[in-house]
Amino acid sequence: MANGAQTRNDASPGLSQDEPILCTVELYGTARLRAKTAKVALVLPPQAVLSSVFVALAGHLPVLVGPVIAPDRSKLTSGYACNINGRDFVRDPRFKINPGDSILIISNDAGG
Q: What is the pLDDT of residues 33-54, one digit of tens each?
A: 999 999 999 999 999 999 999 9
CB 58 within 8 A of CB 69: yes
Q: Is 69 within the bounds of a domain?
A: yes
The predicted pLDDT at position 16 comes to 60
**What range defines the domain where residue 97 resides?**
19-101
- Residue 55 sits in a domain of what CATH number? 3.10.20.30
Contact partners, residue 111, CB within 8 Å, separation at least 6: none
Question: Distance (Å, rounded) from C-alpha 24 to C-alpha 6?
Answer: 19
Number of domains in the chain: 1
How many CB atoms are located within 10 Å of the residue 111 CB?
5
Q: Is 40 within the bounds of a domain?
A: yes
Q: Is 10 within the bounds of a domain?
A: no
- In a structure prediction context, what are the per-residue pLDDT tens digits for the chain, which is 112 residues long? 443 444 444 544 555 678 999 999 999 999 999 999 999 999 999 999 999 999 999 999 999 999 999 999 999 999 999 999 999 999 999 999 999 999 999 998 754 4
The predicted pLDDT at position 3 comes to 39
Q: Is 14 within the bounds of a domain?
A: no
The predicted pLDDT at position 60 comes to 97
Q: Is 88 within the bounds of a domain?
A: yes
How many CB atoms are located within 10 Å of the residue 94 CB?
10
The predicted pLDDT at position 17 comes to 73
